């Protein structure tokens, strides 16, 4: 799986060919060897493989993928990837030799399964950034749910400036919180090994069997002296929802992802609890924080939109397939009873999180505050390979549709431009949907006049000397610029920030790569 999207998504695969004009038929029983071959490059054989699973996969992907991939291109990807994965000894192997390996011929029959997985992976690499192969283990996880993590209950971010991992949050039932570890604390070592710049390596060291010890070196936030502590790993769970009341008048709800459908009820319960905590005194407004939310279940996004938007005829999102489209309808009712709502987004807000924020923006139910979102507006669907071979338990995931917002605009490649653009917020990701190779083109790319932020907000220079409230700061201790802009907007004042109208309007959204 790819690092950004899985750490934000999903997988899938495909393979098959059709005969056409100018097809080159290659029949060969030539044994495959690792001998160097200096023959000139051959054209890709546009024909079916002898291994029928590949043929049927390729046909299904070509028929169902919204990316409209070319069979020849997928075959080229399959052959090239198998050649690459076999190593330098096969760099000059002919296409016919590699194809014979995919067909299960020659001297590599015992390795045929790995070769097929490599061929599928290579074929899908020629389709779109979100099409990939899914292992049997990942298929099982998607059906029964992922196993519970066994660790100490922390979420952290890498910070090269500090030289460690900064704690962003702790699980309520985890050993870390019980030991007094707090947001903003810095992990410098795990088992006496430096973790500076080692985001994933640190996770591998921290996770482990329940009851086993792990030793951390930590610098508490605001201090300089390093402390060492040993914690026992346990089963930990992170709620996808966190909420609290800020300064007695602003309800704050953070949704980490759209993977857990129970989040719908949790958010409703949180809203009721925050209202009741003030004995019926109305809060000035609510903040829904979708920053760094990679998305998940579209059904949850649609239900939440329906929860906040009071409409008899509206829709929250349209899913447009190659053959048909359908709408997620909105019904009457607003759990906030019209109370002002601000939604926070950033460049790591993606997919279902963009659908929700876009629906609320289009229906003028919320003010979107932050920076331009990620821009993933595509739908991935699984194809289980048991369809072609009853003995297989793996799958592929391919892009089958695009999302359209209530306004009719497609999300793909553009995402959501906030109503209030926050100045001075650093990008969380190095690459966004619009930067990816083989990105599916936005159908409106040639005519879209993308939304422009109507205002720009910045934090006042004297914020640090006036405010000590930790709720208004990031886990690093720095001012939470986006949240501060949203709070001032809901309160209709400029206590923390200065907001100016954009005149003239800023440039349109950065277009995707051609």
Write out the DSSP string of 7-49: HS------------TT-------PPP------PPPPPP--S--
Q: What is the pLDDT of residue 448?
A: 53
Edge to edge, the sheet with strand 241-246 lists: 241-246, 250-255, 285-289, 341-345, 367-370, 420-422, 455-459, 497-501
As beta bridge partners, residue 495 has none
Question: Which regions of the chain carry the CATH code 3.90.226.10?
Answer: 241-499
Mean per-residue pLDDT, 333-344: 94
Rounded Cα gap, residues 126 and 352, in angstroms:
25
Q: What is the pLDDT of residue 444?
A: 79
Rounded Cα gap, residues 186 and 181, in angstroms:
9
Question: Which regions of the chain carry the CATH code 2.30.42.10?
Answer: 149-236
Nearest to 98 by CA among 162, 169, 146, 28: 28
Q: Is the pLDDT of residue 42 over 90?
A: no
Q: Is the pLDDT of residue 46 over 80?
A: no
Catalytic residue (one of 177, 189, 376, 481): 376
More confident residue, 419 or 442: 419
Most confident of 18-27, 241-250, 500-509: 241-250
Q: What is the DSSP string of 135-187?
A: -HHHHHHHHH-PPPPEE--EEEEEETTTTEEEEEEE-TTSHHHHTT--TT-EE
Nearest to 500 by CA among 456, 458, 452: 456
Q: What is the pLDDT of residue 282?
A: 84
Q: Is the pLDDT of residue 1 over 90?
A: no
Rounded Cα gap, residues 54 and 116, in angstroms:
8
Rounded Cα gap, residues 259 and 299, in angstroms:
10
Q: What is the pLDDT of residue 333?
A: 86
Q: What is the pLDDT of residues 168-226, one digit of tens each?
A: 888 888 999 999 999 889 999 999 999 988 887 888 899 888 899 999 999 998 888 99
Q: Which residue has the tokens 């190659």?
A: 322
Two structure tokens written together for 104: 């299960």
Rounded Cα gap, residues 491 and 487, in angstroms:
6
Q: How remote is the C-alpha of 166 from its chain's centroid?
A: 21
Task: Give exposure, 168-200, as e/b (b: 16+ Cβ within 10 Å).
Answer: ebbbeebbbbbbebebbbbbbbbeeeebbebee
Q: What is the pLDDT of residue 284?
A: 93
Percent over 70 (pLDDT), the chain: 84
- Least confidently predicted of 4-18, 38-52, 361-375: 4-18
29 pLDDT tier (thresholds 50, 70, 90): very low
- Least confidently predicted of 15-29, 320-334, 478-492, 494-508: 15-29
Mean per-residue pLDDT, 227-245: 91
Mean per-residue pLDDT, 1-8: 36
Task: Assess whether 142 carries a catalytic annotation.
Answer: no
Rounded Cα gap, residues 505 and 397, in angstroms:
40
More confident residue, 146 or 165: 165
Mean pLDDT of all residues belonging to the chain: 84
Using CB atoms within 10 A of its CB, is residue 39 exposed (0-12), middle (13-18) or buried (19+)?
exposed
Q: What is the pLDDT of residue 66?
A: 92
Rounded Cα gap, residues 427 and 479, in angstroms:
16
Rounded Cα gap, residues 352 and 371, in angstroms:
17
Q: What is the pLDDT of residue 17?
A: 23
Q: What is the pLDDT of residues 70-128, one digit of tens each?
A: 999 999 999 999 999 999 999 999 999 999 999 998 888 889 999 999 999 999 999 99
Q: Is 59 helix (H, G, I), strand (E, B) or coil?
A: helix
Helix (H) or strand (E) holding 400: strand 395-404
Task: Assess whether 169 carries a catalytic annotation.
Answer: no
Mean per-residue pLDDT, 151-171: 83
Q: Give backbone dihedrals phi and psi of 218, rounded to 5 degrees, phi first.
A: -135, 140
Q: What is the pLDDT of residues 457-490, one digit of tens each?
A: 999 988 876 666 888 988 888 899 999 999 999 9
Mean per-residue pLDDT, 352-370: 96
Q: Is the pLDDT of residue 258 over 60?
A: yes
Neighbours of 354 (CB within 10 A): 28
CATH architecture, range 149-236: Roll (2.30)
Q: What is the pLDDT of residue 90?
A: 93
Rounded Cα gap, residues 403 and 376, in angstroms:
9
* Cβ-contact 347, 509 below 8 angstroms: no
Task: Assess whether 362 carries a catalytic annotation.
Answer: yes
Q: Which residue has the tokens 């979102």?
A: 373
Two structure tokens written together for 385: 């390979």
Q: Which residue has the tokens 């001032």?
A: 488
Taking CA atoms, 419 is separated from 346, 360, 365, 491, in Å, by 12, 12, 12, 16
Contact residues for 224 (Cβ-Cβ < 8 A; gap 6+)? none
- Taking the whole predicted model, whether its pTM rises above 0.95 is answered as no
Q: Is the pLDDT of residue 511 over 90?
A: no
Catalytic residue (one of 351, 357, 373, 378): 351
261 pLDDT tier (thresholds 50, 70, 90): confident
Q: How many CA atoms lie within 13 A of 225 on its CB side?
A: 1
Neighbours of 282 (CB within 10 A): 10
Q: Is the pLDDT of residue 382 over 90?
A: yes
Q: What is the pLDDT of residue 279?
A: 67
Nearest to 103 by CA among 112, 93, 92: 112
Q: Which residue has the tokens 């400029």?
A: 494
More confident residue, 110 or 290: 290
Catalytic residue (one of 289, 347, 362, 480): 362
Two structure tokens written together for 251: 């309800």
Q: Is the pLDDT of residue 7 over 70?
A: no
Mean per-residue pLDDT, 322-341: 91
Q: What is the pLDDT of residue 345?
A: 98
Q: What is the pLDDT of residue 100?
A: 93
Q: Is the pLDDT of residue 358 over 50?
A: yes
* Cβ-contact 493, 487 below 8 angstroms: no
Mean per-residue pLDDT, 329-341: 91
Mean per-residue pLDDT, 339-362: 96
15 pLDDT tier (thresholds 50, 70, 90): very low
Contact residues for 380 (Cβ-Cβ < 8 A; gap 6+)? 9, 10, 12, 130, 131, 397, 398, 399, 400
CATH number of the domain at 241-499, please?
3.90.226.10
Q: Is the pLDDT of residue 36 over 80?
A: no
* Cβ-contact 397, 139 below 8 angstroms: no
Contact residues for 352 (Cβ-Cβ < 8 A; gap 6+)? 258, 293, 295, 296, 297, 298, 300, 301
């Amino acid at each position: 799986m790819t690092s950004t999207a899985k750490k934000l998504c999903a997988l899938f695969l495909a393979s098959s060919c059709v005969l056409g004009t100018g097809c080159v038929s290659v029949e060969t029983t030539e044994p495959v060897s690792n001998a160097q071959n200096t023959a000139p490059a051959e054209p890709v054989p546009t024909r079916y493989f002898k291994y029928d699973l590949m043929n049927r996969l390729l046909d299904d992907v070509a028929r169902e993928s919204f990316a409209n991939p070319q069979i020849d291109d997928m075959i080229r990807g399959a052959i090239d990837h198998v050649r690459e994965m076999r190593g330098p000894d096969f760099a000059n192997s002919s296409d016919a030799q590699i194809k014979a390996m995919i067909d299960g011929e020659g001297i590599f029959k015992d390795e045929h399964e790995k070769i097929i997985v490599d061929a599928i992976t290579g074929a899908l690499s020629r389709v779109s950034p979100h099409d990939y192969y899914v292992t049997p283990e990942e298929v099982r996880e998607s059906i029964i749910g992922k196993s519970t993590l066994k660790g100490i209950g922390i979420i952290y971010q890498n910070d090269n400036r500090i030289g460690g991992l900064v704690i962003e949050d702790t699980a309520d039932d985890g050993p870390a919180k019980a030991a007094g570890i707090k947001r903003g604390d810095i992990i410098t070592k795990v088992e006496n090994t430096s973790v500076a710049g080692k985001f994933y390596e640190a996770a591998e060291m921290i996770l482990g069997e329940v009851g086993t010890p792990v030793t951390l070196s930590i610098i508490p936030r605001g201090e300089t002296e390093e402390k060492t502590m040993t914690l026992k790993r346990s089963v930990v769970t992170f709620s996808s929802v966190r909420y609290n009341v800020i300064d007695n008048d602003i309800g704050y709800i953070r949704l980490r992802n759209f993977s857990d459908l129970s989040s719908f009820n949790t958010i409703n319960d949180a809203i009721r609890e925050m209202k009741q905590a003030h004995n019926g005194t109305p809060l000035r407004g609510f903040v829904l924080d979708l920053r760094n939310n990679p998305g998940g279940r579209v059904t949850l996004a649609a239900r939440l939109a329906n929860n906040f938007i009071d409409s008899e005829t509206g829709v929250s999102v349209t899913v447009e397939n190659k053959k048909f489209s359908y709408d997620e309808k909105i019904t009457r009712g607003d759990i906030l009873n019209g109370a002002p709502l601000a939604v926070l987004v950033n460049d790591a807000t993606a997919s279902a999180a963009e659908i929700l924020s876009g629906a609320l923006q289009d229906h003028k139910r919320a003010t979107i505050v932050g920076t331009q979102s990620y821009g993933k507006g595509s739908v991935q669907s699984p194809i289980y390979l048991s369809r072609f071979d009853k003995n297989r338990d793996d799958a592929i995931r391919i892009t089958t549709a695009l999302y359209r917002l209530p306004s009719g605009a497609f999300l793909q490649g553009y995402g959501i431009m906030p109503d209030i653009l926050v100045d001075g917020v650093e990008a969380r990701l190095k690459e966004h949907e619009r930067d990816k190779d083989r990105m599916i083109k936005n159908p409106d790319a040639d005519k879209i006049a993308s939304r422009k932020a109507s205002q720009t907000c910045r934090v006042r220079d004297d914020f640090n000397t006036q405010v000590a409230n930790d709720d208004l700061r990031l886990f690093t201790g720095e001012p939470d610029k986006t949240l501060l802009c949203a709070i001032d907007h809901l309160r209709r004042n400029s206590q923390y920030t200065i907001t100016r109208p954009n005149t003239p309007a800023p440039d349109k959204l950065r277009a995707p790569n051609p």
